[in-house]
Amino acid sequence: MQLVLEKRAERSNTIALISPLIAIGLTIVTMVILFAILGKNPLLALDAYFIAPLTDGYSLQEIAVKATPLVMIAIGLSLCYLANAWNIGAEGQFLIGAVAGSWIAVKTQGTDAGAWVLPAMLLLAAAAGALYALIPAICKVRFGASEILTSLMLVYVADLFLDYLVRGPWRDPHGFNFPTTAEFDPVATVPLLIDGGRLHLGSIIALLVVAAAAILLGRTIKGFEIRMVGAAPRAARFGGFNANQLVILTFAVSGALAGLAGIIEVAGPVGHLQPGISPGYGFTAIIVAFLGRLNPIGILIAGLFLALTFIGGEQAQIAMKIPLDVTKVFQGILLFYVLACDSLILYRFRLVFPNRQVARGTG
Amino acid sequence: MELVEAIILSVLAASTPLLIAATGELVTERSGVLNLGVEGMMIMGAACGFAGAWLTGSILIGALCGIAAGTLMSLVFALMALGLAVNQVATGLALTILGIGLSGLIGAGFVGERITPAAHLYIPGLTDIPLIGHVPFGEDAFVYLSLALIVGVWWFLYRTRPGLILRACGDNHVSAHALGYPVLRIRTLAAMFGGACAGLAGAYLPLAYTPFFIPGMTAGRGWIALALVVFSSWRPGRLVVGAYLFGAVTILQLHAQGWGVGIPSQFMSALPYLATVIVLVLLSRARTGGSTAPAALGTVFVPDR
């Protein structure tokens, strides 16, 4: 018995629509088995993961807060992946954005600096993220160095740089030697949308980013170029599109979005700069981008879903002592199933039995 | 002088996991498969290797567990990237994410435990030669194995017929298929060899390098191994040079931190990663006369029949 792929004459749009759902279904089945192996009641665990967070207002806000960086980063990454540029260093661009924006917050701390502080922080963070992403992009375009490896290496560098700052020059003198900056001033903080709640302005910015990406990809020539260069590089060359220029552009945009997400996270839910500000947002966003089929609306839904798994994972840990690593396993398995189901869009799977194969001849 | 010997010994120890993992990935890539999941396979090898060694008290069984874990992970990769023709870059990333999560889950119960690290060779007389005895005669088994492995791979790739066929699959899968070679089966085997090596390299870390397991202890070594394969221009000889150079950078920055050079430790720790970027740029730039990468590297192959 052998598994054989047959190319479909046309990509199947029905499957394109339902494949993420099949993937989620398969992931949940796998998780049930995993919970059973861990000796936890699978039904209770699924409830803690996927249902409980949806039943109270606090958790719902928390999901939106967690989805904000995921969606912003994933939108940028989707542009890269559509153009066949492999930025996997969004985590580093996120951290550098957080560092650059925090610089203004730290320097203006305790002064009477006005309302310009937060906008300046956001701008600087986006610029820094874009510049940091341009390093692998330029290495790729000018020297042909693999952007996958260089962008990933720069994640470690950014992480160490942040660590140095909060343990050294930026450490809060009144922070009992903890590696953290002082709490940001109110003018350097992302405003909340609901008093006393968790939801903040960043979520609105994320929605605007989704809308902008939808317009860019669906309604503009640039968006067409991006999709064309990725899907049919040869045709794009004949069409006179400059693939290198698009690598630079998509990397810069995705770096800017990751940097912006970084400062929003620090100046919003966290409130100060410290190591470990990201539970791997930059990597989870890769899953979000693929689960959302590299489509802005899809990414919004996928971002909310993965945020749910973060919150659900925390609740399952508290309520049932399920280790947090289960969330990472869940996300990894989900990405596998998403990719496998995507294969169904282009191919038909068929099981072939050896004896029949001989009789089939040229087929 | 004893310091020099100590430094050489620690460079060898730091280089060995890079060399083993990169050797496996070199064979995988030579068959035309780009498996970016080395980091995930390595960390799984580390977790399962430590678990095996701690439970049985045997380093050998630990190493075998590491190899098995890496191989299983690579089979998942092969099923996806070769069986279902999924994009290899994305599959490799998924493998790394899954490996980091699973290893944390498996290793959680072993954090804080210690084992007796792998024994070092001792030949009375030879190992005792001052200054030069320990380097060739006083290593652990992994170091010798890594060297045997790379020599074996060189011999296989360039001196045997199956090696030639494997390289043919990597350079032109359509022709190899037309000649009647089972491209996907060969690639699956090559990917499995890569997984076994990555698992062994991961297992080296808790079994010989540090005698305990911590989550995420591979710390990007899998990615550096991938960069080393590029550095080597897909040639085994240069891979040895590259791996020892990187090991040297890692150890030198550690020593520099110890000597109290006035540079913050984080900057020194960033050196191996920065060195990787710089080396990739310099090498890619030097290669003006066409790429030396296997021509079909990372491309999807679906046999038409």
For the cut 90, the answer to whether the pLDDT of residue A315 exceeds it is no
Q: How far apart are CA A159 and CA B202, in angstroms?
A: 23
For the cut 70, the answer to whether the pLDDT of residue B286 exceeds it is no
A65 and A110 in a single domain? The answer is yes
- Using a CB-CB cut-off of 8 Å, the residues of chain B touching A336 are 76, 80, 91, 94, 98
Mean pLDDT of A179-192: 89
For the cut 90, the answer to whether the pLDDT of residue A251 exceeds it is yes
Comparison of pLDDT for A180 and B196, the residue scoring more: B196
Beta-carbon separation of A347 and B84 below 8 A: yes
Domain membership of residue B279 as a residue range? 2-119+143-286
Q: Is residue A361 part of a domain?
A: no
CB count within 10 Å of CB B85 equals 17
- Using a CB-CB cut-off of 8 Å, the residues of chain A touching B90 are 290, 335, 339
For the cut 70, the answer to whether the pLDDT of residue B37 exceeds it is yes
A234 and A342 in a single domain? The answer is no
Least confident segment among A249-258, A287-296, B131-140 = B131-140
Quote the pLDDT of residue A1.
63
Identify from A156, A161, A344, A352 which residue to disrupt to test chain B contact, counting B C-beta atoms within 10 A and taking the largest count.
A156
Mean pLDDT of B70-94: 92
Q: Is residue A293 part of a domain?
A: yes
For the cut 70, the answer to whether the pLDDT of residue A76 exceeds it is yes
Residue in chain B closest to A324 (alpha carbons) equals: B105
Minimal CA separation from A207 to chain B, in Å: 26
A311 and A350 in a single domain? The answer is no
3-state secondary structure labels for all residues of chain A = CEEEEEECCCCCHHHHHHHHHHHHHHHHHHHHHHHHHCCCCHHHHHHHHHHHHHCCHHHHHHHHHHHHHHHHHHHHHHHHHHCCCCCCCHHHHHHHHHHHHHHHHHHCCCCCCCCCHHHHHHHHHHHHHHHHHHHHHHHHHHHCCCHHHHHHHHHHHHHHHHHHHHHCCCCCCCCCCCCCCCCCCHHHCCCECCCCCCCEHHHHHHHHHHHHHHHHHHHCHHHHHHHHHHHCHHHHHHCCCCHHHHHHHHHHHHHHHHHHHHHHHHHHHHCCCCCCCCCCHHHHHHHHHHHCCCCHHHHHHHHHHHHHHHHHHHHHHHHHCCCCHHHHHHHHHHHHHHHHHHHHHHEEEEEECHHHHHHHCCC
DSSP B262: S
Confidence of residue A68 (pLDDT cuts 50, 70, 90): very high
Mean pLDDT of A40-45: 88
Q: Is residue A11 part of a domain?
A: yes
Q: Is residue A28 part of a domain?
A: yes
Mean pLDDT of B152-158: 95
Beta-carbon separation of A343 and B85 below 8 A: yes
Minimal CA separation from A6 to chain B, in Å: 8
Q: Is residue B125 part of a domain?
A: no
Mean pLDDT of B160-166: 94
Closest residue to A343, CB basis, from B86, B281, B285 = B86
What domain count does chain A have?
A: 2
Domain membership of residue A25 as a residue range? 1-38+323-355
- Using a CB-CB cut-off of 8 Å, the residues of chain A touching B302 are 5, 7, 347
A327 and A306 in a single domain? The answer is no
Residue in chain A closest to B40 (alpha carbons) equals: A332
For the cut 50, the answer to whether the pLDDT of residue A196 exceeds it is yes
Quote the pLDDT of residue A10.
77
3-state DSSP call for residue B212?
coil
CATH at B35: 1.10.3470
Structure tokens at B172: 């032109």
Q: Is residue A43 part of a domain?
A: no
Q: Is residue B291 part of a domain?
A: no
- Using a CB-CB cut-off of 8 Å, the residues of chain A touching B95 are 332
Please say whether the beta carbons of B178 and B48 come within 8 A. no
Quote the pLDDT of residue B226.
92
Identify from B36, B93, B188, B232 which residue to disrupt to test chain A contact, counting A C-beta atoms within 10 A and taking the largest count.
B93
A314 and A330 in a single domain? The answer is no
B-facing residues of A in 189-248 (CB < 8 A) are none
Quote the pLDDT of residue B256.
78
pTM (predicted TM-score) = 0.89
Quote the pLDDT of residue A280.
86
Minimal CA separation from A212 to chain B, in Å: 26
CA pseudo-torsion sign A19, A311, A119, A195: positive
A192 and A107 in a single domain? The answer is yes
Mean pLDDT of A161-169: 92
A329 and A284 in a single domain? The answer is no
Residue in chain A closest to B270 (alpha carbons) equals: A157
Residue B233, phi then psi, degrees to nearest 5: 55, 35
Comparison of pLDDT for A341 and A258, the residue scoring more: A258
Please say whether the beta carbons of A79 and A149 come within 8 A. no
Structure tokens at A135: 């390093």
Mean pLDDT of B132-136: 69
Q: Is residue A46 part of a domain?
A: no
- Using a CB-CB cut-off of 8 Å, the residues of chain A touching B101 are 325-332
Residue in chain A closest to B277 (alpha carbons) equals: A150
Confidence of residue B131 (pLDDT cuts 50, 70, 90): low
Mean pLDDT of A315-337: 87
What domain count does chain B have?
A: 1
Q: Is residue A55 part of a domain?
A: no
Comparison of pLDDT for A160 and A319, the residue scoring more: A160
For the cut 80, the answer to whether the pLDDT of residue A248 exceeds it is yes
For the cut 80, the answer to whether the pLDDT of residue A12 exceeds it is no
Q: Is residue B95 part of a domain?
A: yes
Beta-carbon separation of B86 and A342 below 8 A: yes
Beta-carbon separation of B270 and A160 below 8 A: yes
Residue in chain A closest to B226 (alpha carbons) equals: A149
Report how far Cα A256 is from the mean position of its chain's Cα atoms.
13
Nearest one of A238, A273, A322, A351 to A44, comparing CA atoms: A322
Identify from B34, B84, B111, B249 which residue to disrupt to test chain A contact, counting A C-beta atoms within 10 A and taking the largest count.
B84
Closest residue to B93, CB basis, from A164, A168, A286 = A286
CATH at A113: 1.10.3470
For the cut 80, the answer to whether the pLDDT of residue B289 exceeds it is no
Residue in chain B closest to A81 (alpha carbons) equals: B90
What average pLDDT does chain B have? 88
Provide the total of helices (H) and of strands (E) in chain B, helices listed first: 12, 0
Mean pLDDT of A134-144: 92
Comparison of pLDDT for A196 and B260, the residue scoring more: A196
Least confident segment among A122-126, A267-271, B118-122, B173-177 = B118-122
- Partner B contacted by A336 (CB < 8 A): yes
Comparison of pLDDT for A184 and B5, the residue scoring more: A184
- Side chain identity at residue B195, one-letter code: G
Quote the pLDDT of residue A207.
95
Quote the pLDDT of residue A26.
92
Nearest one of B103, B49, B57, B97 to B77, comparing CA atoms: B97
Q: Is residue A260 part of a domain?
A: yes
A220 and A343 in a single domain? The answer is no
- Partner B contacted by A340 (CB < 8 A): yes
Identify from A35, A87, A95, A160 which residue to disrupt to test chain B contact, counting B C-beta atoms within 10 A and taking the largest count.
A160
Beta bridge partners of A200: A192
Please say whether the beta carbons of B77 and B35 come within 8 A. yes
Mean pLDDT of B205-230: 90
For the cut 70, the answer to whether the pLDDT of residue A362 exceeds it is no
Structure tokens at B60: 């050998």
Minimal CA separation from B86 to chain A, in Å: 6
Comparison of pLDDT for A137 and B258, the residue scoring more: A137
For the cut 90, the answer to whether the pLDDT of residue B137 exceeds it is no
Quote the pLDDT of residue A363.
36
A243 and A118 in a single domain? The answer is yes
Quote the pLDDT of residue A154.
95
Please say whether the beta carbons of B134 and B11 come within 8 A. no
Quote the pLDDT of residue B149.
95
A34 and A166 in a single domain? The answer is no
For the cut 60, the answer to whether the pLDDT of residue A37 exceeds it is yes
Size of interface A-B (CB pairs under 8 A): 143
A11 and A80 in a single domain? The answer is no
User: How many residues in total does chain A contain?
Assistant: 363
Beta-carbon separation of A332 and B91 below 8 A: no
A94 and A171 in a single domain? The answer is yes
For the cut 90, the answer to whether the pLDDT of residue A90 exceeds it is yes
For the cut 70, the answer to whether the pLDDT of residue A354 exceeds it is no
Identify from B281, B283, B300 which residue to disrupt to test chain A contact, counting A C-beta atoms within 10 A and taking the largest count.
B281
Beta-carbon separation of A329 and B102 below 8 A: yes
Residue A242, phi then psi, degrees to nearest 5: -95, 105
Quote the pLDDT of residue B44.
96
- Using a CB-CB cut-off of 8 Å, the residues of chain B touching A351 are none
Mean pLDDT of B11-15: 90
For the cut 70, the answer to whether the pLDDT of residue A355 exceeds it is no
